[in-house]
């Protein structure tokens, strides 16, 4: 799964993860300090632990500063180029393999800031995970009530089949 915390509160964010059955949250931010209360690395890790969710910081999957600057400026071509070059490094590829190993064992969610996954590098990372037979599902904090009402539409964790199926993308 993937999720962004833009526009959300820490309470709603954690509730969304719980409703979805997330067991491990992988933070793919390069910089884990946030001005938004509860979303800096140590506070977030402690809060998640209270709810039985493991926190992992995959620093090598963070978007380099030039990529973040390009995305903020709306230059998504440059953003994708910068992040693509970074993702091709051995350190980033090792981090992808590490995340894939975790995701095959536990229901895992990639986290970054942006609400819209199409403008966030976490979607590019999720696409890389397809090479390991893992399929992603994008969670949205503001849809947690819908997830609660329709839990059968959320992907469950099935180690033999990867994560989500196409039918779950329509939720």
Per-residue pLDDT tens digits for 7-44: 999 999 999 999 999 999 999 999 999 999 999 999 99
pLDDT confidence of residue 157:
52
**What domain range includes position 55?**
2-170
171 pLDDT band (50/70/90 cuts)? very low
Average pLDDT over all residues of the chain? 90
Q: What is the CATH number of the domain that holds 9?
A: 3.90.190
Number of domains in the chain: 1
Q: Indicate whether 134 pLDDT > 50.
A: yes
**Helix/strand/coil (H, E, C) string of the chain?**
CEEECCCCCHHHHHHHHHHHCCCEEEECCCCCCCCCCCCCHHHHHHHHHHCCCEEEECHHHCCCHHHHHHHHCCCHHHHHHHHHHHHCCHHHHHHHHHHHHHHHHCCEEEEECCCCHHHCHHHHHHHHHHHHCCCCCECCHHHHHHHHHCHHHCCCCECCCECCCHHHHHC
Q: What is this structure's pTM? A: 0.89
């Amino acid at each position: 799964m993937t999720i962004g915390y833009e526009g959300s509160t820490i309470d709603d964010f954690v509730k969304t993860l719980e409703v979805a059955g997330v067991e491990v949250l992988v933070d793919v931010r390069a910089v884990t300090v946030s001005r938004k209360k509860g979303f800096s690395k140590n506070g977030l890790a402690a809060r998640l632990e209270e709810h039985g969710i493991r926190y992992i910081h995959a620093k090598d999957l963070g978007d380099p500063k030039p990529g973040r600057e390009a995305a903020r400026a709306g230059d998504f071509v440059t953003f994708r180029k910068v992040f693509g070059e970074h993702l091709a490094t051995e350190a980033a590829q090792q981090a992808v393999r590490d995340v894939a190993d975790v995701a095959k064992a536990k229901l895992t969610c990639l986290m970054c800031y942006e609400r819209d996954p199409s403008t966030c590098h976490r979607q590019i990372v999720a696409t890389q995970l397809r090479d390991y037979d893992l399929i992603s599902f994008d969670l949205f904090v503001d849809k947690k009530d819908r997830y609660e009402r329709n839990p059968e539409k959320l992907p469950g964790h099935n180690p033999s089949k990867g994560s989500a199926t196409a039918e779950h993308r329509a939720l």
